Amino acid sequence: MSGRLAGVSTVFRREIATVVRTPGYGVLAVGLLAALGGLLAAGGGGATGFVPAVVDLLLPTEALVPLVAVVLGYRALLTDAASGELAVIRTYPVRVGEYVAGVLLARLVALVAAVGVPYAAIGAVVWLTAAPDTGIFATHTGVDSPLLYLRFLAFVLLLGAAYVSLAAAVSALAASRRSAIALGSLALVAGVLGGDLVLLRSLAAGASPTTVPASIALAPNGAFRGLVFEHVIGVAFAPEGGFVSTGRAVASLVGWTLIGAVVAGVTLAYGRRVDAAVERVRREIGD
Amino acid sequence: MTRFDPFGDPSLPVRLALAALVLAAAAATAGAFVADPETAAPSPVAYDDVVELGLSSETDALMAGSATIPRTQVFYSQLQYVVGYNGVESFAAALEDDRAERQFGYPVVAYVETFDDARPGTTERGLFDAELAGEWTPAPEAVYVVGSDARSPAGETVVPFRERAAAEAFTADHGGRVIDWGAVRDRSFDTDSAAAVRGMAPDRWTAADQRIAAADRRADRPVSVVVGEDAPTIGAALAAAPANTTVAVPPGTYEETLTVNESVTIAGEDARIRGDGNGSVITVRAPDVAITGVAVDGSGNETRDPDAARSGRDPEGGAWDTNIQLGYGHGDAGIRAIDAPGLFVDDVTIEASASGILLRDGSDAAVRDLRVNGTEEWQDGFMGITGMQSRVTVTDSEFAGGRDGIYLHRADDSVVRNSEFADNRYGVHLMYTSDALIADNAFRDELFGGVTVMTRPSGNAIVGNDVRNSSAGIQASGTRAYIGYNTLVGNELGFSTSSRGSLYERNVAANNELGARATTVVPSSRVVENDFVANADHAAAGAGALRVWADGGRGNYWEGANVGIHDPGERAYRPTSPVDGALHREVALVAVRESPAVALLDRLRGTVPGARSGSIIDPAPATEPYASDRVAAALDPDAGPVHADWRARSGGGEGDRNATGSNAIGTNTNAPNATKRGAATSGVADV
């Protein structure tokens, strides 16, 4: 392993160690599992199959997964900067890009563990327990299949990745832990509600509904919801589809992840200079 | 103890395991998107195991002949149960109706029964029949004969074949032409729906009017013999009277057991005919006999043939109900008719030790103003009227005590209306009886239930009845039933939706322990515009897919559904949910209902109804009761039975009319022939 990969790998390992030593993340995963289990029990969809289970989980997931992702990411880049460790790290031959990539990768692994594992556990429970109400008639699974749940899980992780990355960007922008919490909450609310509110506003302002399949994919939540409708729940309906443009939705989720990473990197790389510039301007005005 | 060391290089096995895990996850994810979950078409199952929709296979017409209905089994995308349709046309009609698709998804695969090697033909009655069982063939691969002379009890039938040659061989014998699946789907079939049964209910009422009027005219015969003047006993008078005359029976008590072998009228006036406690009191063995103005008692108490149960268990014996046919048709009765069509019983009171009236072997009878007082304990007695293979028309009668008020077995086209039932086991009990009309009756304190329909007949209409304080209001199985405008108050169960492909509308379920119970595993009926008020629980569901109780934008009225701060009718209502189901009892649940958790879960609940289980959802609960006057009358403890003016509904909104207390059971002291409780009864106020 040499050059950049070595840098990424080292930062990644260091970050993994940080994650593992944070017991709060374990509690987070357990909490998510409890919430999902509660939804499954209260909703009842999981009793008969994967598709109704996904129907029950879909809307709560839109809030829960971003929340967990933001919690995982909102301090990812802040702590090193605040403690001065980042300044130390930067004396080593590690570029900012490598540093950000390493941290983000580690946080994504944490996401897979904290979100993917509870969701997978729920899927396993459904797999083991879902059965028709009565056995006196011949039954079949319809189009219900564990594959559909696997698709759902993939979309969940894509959504989570976008939010982890955006939260990391927030953590790079924030100057203190308190402002990180504030900015993270803002990102959460903006992501979960903002995209749809903007879409609603544009429709109210006269945008053509034919643009919705494309525009709903722009916000991470809209893209996620569209993908689940299109590839998981919609499969149980006659083939019509068209809830969202699949390519755009996937590109949107991946795009948000990349945007978050780039913003984080740029902030870390040039933030000081911007700060310095701002300070200089302020001083000049003050004079 | 292994320590987590992120900086040391992991050992080779760990690295391999990690790589394998990542690869497996990637492959599984890719596979999940590449694989098409629709492609795995299930194989056909044994037809006995499907949930059956479409034509009934248990109508009397079908069971009498050994006819065959080509069957279909369908695997819907959202539904876990395999659905069987009797009749290819039933399935084609279901495909045309988008309700099936909304509730069950689309058909992943459908198999039709093909008759290439089954020696298909027709019975002498023109019904399609095959000597051997058919084979299952995917519907798009089969060919279909339409327009042949083979028919089903419901009309035209489509006969599927695997090979075109076999189909053409069939058309050579039976006419018709061969088309493919696409063409079958494009045809529109005249499938008889429950809505058609609704339309027929007024016609059946009119037919009953005509039957009664005709019987009344027939009974009006010149007096030939007066008992006590021309003959010492009624028996002697009957022997002396020529056909088509009247035997007049003056007031008095006559201790006789009679057999009527001529078409005469026995016209009593305060006359009582008392048997000797053995066998039936009056046995009718001639057509068009009329018995009016008498009271009958003193029959034997043999409720059925004690030997029938044994002989009926003959394993080679025909239908399973041989036992019942032999047994139930052969007990003692006040009036017993055997192969005696055209019997007219008018203004007769029977103290029944076993059956009041027993009709057997095509003894089609018209009954008006009959009063049967059965035994205290239902186990001791038998039915008010037992009708075996006899069409029965009953109006303005009363049945108290005994086993069932009216028990009909293979008695198609029967009508029971304007009558009162109390303290029976069942009020009206139908077996294998199709196309009947049970209308505007009042039932009180029935031990097992008001109206019950067993087996799977088709096309019964149960309309405008009032059932109170009974175990169950209406439990009707079968197909294509119309259950409308009934008022069910204070029962343990208001009604059950046991009949499939049926229409349940405009019923009022008030003050019951349970308003309605959804029973069929695969929903196929419409339940709309019913009012559920003041029930402990409005509705419950048995095993099976989620039931959507609405049709288009019309739902039902549920007391409590609109409690809260949202606009009435805005929120879907789930009577089976612990939150919604208690809204009418506890207002605090409004706050629970508006919680984000409940809202998020409820939001998409109706999207894949077929894949869900055990509950009922009404996406469009009504804001006002559909029959507010009947609801008000149901909740008023002093009001008498209520009957909706269902025959006039074509004119628009519902005009309920409330019968006054004078018609309440127990207070009715009808003078003979004085009260004909029809639409024009004086004690009925139009509102």
Tens digit of each residue's pLDDT (9 = 90 or more) over B453-485: 998 888 899 999 999 999 999 999 988 899 999
Closest C-alpha to B622, from B546, B493, B532, B519: B532
Which one-letter DSSP state was computed for residue B380? T
Q: Nearest CB to A143: which of B7, B33, B38?
A: B38
pLDDT at B313 (0 to 100)? 44
Residue type at position B253: T
Q: Find the mean pLDDT for residues A114-131.
A: 92
C-alpha to C-alpha distance for B501 and B486, rounded to whole angstroms: 19
Q: Nearest CB to A142: which of B101, B611, B614?
A: B611
Q: Find the mean pLDDT for residues A217-236.
A: 90
B268 CB-near residues (< 8 Å, 6+ apart): B248, B249, B292, B293, B294, B295
pLDDT at B654 (0 to 100)? 41
Query: Could you tell me which residues are beta bridge partners of residue B155?
Result: B152
pLDDT at B470 (0 to 100)? 95
Min Cα distance A92 → chain B (Å) is 17
Interface subset of B 112-141, CB within 8 angstroms of A:
none
**Chain B interface mutation, best of A12, A103, A134, highest count of B Cβ atoms under 10 Å:** A134
**Chain A interface mutation, best of B53, B576, B608, highest count of A Cβ atoms under 10 Å:** B608
User: How many C-beta neighbours within 10 Å does residue B180 have?
Assistant: 13
pLDDT at B1 (0 to 100)? 46
B607/A55 CB distance under 8 A? yes
- Is the pTM for the entire model greater than 0.90? no
Q: Find the mean pLDDT for residues A149-153.
A: 94
pLDDT in tens, A164-208: 999 999 888 887 888 888 888 998 998 888 888 888 888 888 888
Which residues on chain B are in Cβ contact (under 8 Å) with A16?
6
Give the HSE-up count for residue B254: Cα atoms under 13 Å, Cβ half-sphere: 27
Q: Nearest CB to B603: which of A59, A141, A147?
A: A59
- pLDDT of A272 > 80? The answer is no
C-alpha to C-alpha distance for B182 and B185, rounded to whole angstroms: 5
A149 CB-near residues (< 8 Å, 6+ apart): A50, A53, A54, A123, A126, A127, A232
Which residues on chain A are in Cβ contact (under 8 Å) with B41?
none
Contact A114, A25 (CB under 8 A): yes
ipTM of the complex: 0.82
| Percent of chain A scoring above 70 in pLDDT | 97
pLDDT at B89 (0 to 100)? 84
pLDDT in tens, A29-65: 999 999 999 999 888 888 888 999 999 999 999 999 9
Interface residues of chain A, partner chain B, Cβ below 8 Å: 13-14, 16-17, 20, 39, 42-45, 47-49, 51-52, 55-56, 58-60, 132-134, 137-145, 147-148, 150-151, 154, 231, 233, 235-239
Interface subset of B 443-502, CB within 8 angstroms of A:
none
The dihedral through the CA atoms of B359, B206, B481, B626 has a sign that is: negative
Domain count along chain A: 1
Interface subset of B 571-600, CB within 8 angstroms of A:
597, 600
Quick one: closest CA in B to A39, which residue? B601
B343 CB-near residues (< 8 Å, 6+ apart): B284, B288, B289, B290, B291, B337, B359, B363, B364, B365, B366
The tokens describing B94, both together, are 């279901």
B51/A137 CB distance under 8 A? yes
Chain centroid to CA B377: 27
pLDDT at B4 (0 to 100)? 67
Which one-letter DSSP state was computed for residue B455? S
Chain centroid to CA B604: 33
pLDDT at B284 (0 to 100)? 95
Query: Could you tell me which residues are beta bridge partners of residue B112?
Result: B72, B137
User: How many C-beta neighbours within 10 Å does residue B543 have?
Assistant: 17
pLDDT at B58 (0 to 100)? 61
Which residues on chain B are in Cβ contact (under 8 Å) with A231?
33
Which residues on chain B are in Cβ contact (under 8 Å) with A60?
597, 600-601
The dihedral through the CA atoms of A264, A268, A273, A275 has a sign that is: positive
The owner of tokens 């005994």 is: B402
Return the H-helix or E-strand segment holding B29: helix B12-34
Q: Where are the alpha helices (DSSP H) in chain A?
A: 3-20, 23-43, 50-73, 78-83, 85-89, 96-111, 117-129, 146-173, 177-189, 195-204, 212-215, 220-228, 246-286
- The residue segments making up the domain with residue A52 are 3-286
Query: Could you tell me which residues are beta bridge partners of residue B357?
Result: B335, B385
Query: Could you tell me which residues are beta bridge partners of residue B261?
Result: none
pLDDT at B326 (0 to 100)? 64
The tokens describing A48, both together, are 């008969």
Q: Find the mean pLDDT for residues A281-285.
A: 84
A48/B80 CB distance under 8 A? yes
Which residues on chain B are in Cβ contact (under 8 Å) with A236?
77-78, 105, 608, 610-611
Residues in chain B predicted with pLDDT less than 70, given as ranges, are 1-4, 6, 37-40, 55-66, 189-192, 306-326, 650-687
Residue type at position A115: V
Q: Nearest CB to B81: which of A14, A42, A137?
A: A137
pLDDT at B56 (0 to 100)? 66
Angle at A248 between CA A246 and CA A250, to 5 degrees: 70
C-alpha to C-alpha distance for B92 and B74, rounded to whole angstroms: 11
